[in-house]
Amino acid sequence: MLADYYAGAYCRGMENETILTARSVCDYNCIFKATLIKRTKKTATVKAMNIVRRCKIHINSEGEEYIYALGKYSMSPIFKL
């Protein structure tokens, strides 16, 4: 399945300027927002909290795509694409 993904079979066509949201692990009322600037098969460039970053696109066991737009640490928000 991952081979099909990297061949382009599962690459979703997210529009530029799409707003992604994620909830905080600690406080459900805290919502993080990130804006998708550019996307390729393996990376996504996003703007979150006035910081522009290029992030690797990860895939879970169910084939859903997600990124760590604010860094990868224990309580980091996970943005699903």
User: Mean pLDDT per segment of 10 residues, for the chain of length 81 residues?
Assistant: 49 73 92 93 93 94 93 92 87
Q: Tell which residue, 52, 74, 8, 76, has the closest CA to residue 66.
A: 76
Which residues 6+ apart lie within 8 Å of 56 measured at CB? 42, 43, 67
CA distances from 24 to 12, 18, 28, 76 (A): 25, 20, 6, 8
Task: State residue 36's pLDDT score.
Answer: 94
Q: Identify the residue whose tokens are 């599962």.
A: 10
Task: State residue 7's pLDDT score.
Answer: 47
Helix ranges (H only) for 1-81 are: 2-6
Task: State residue 17's pLDDT score.
Answer: 82
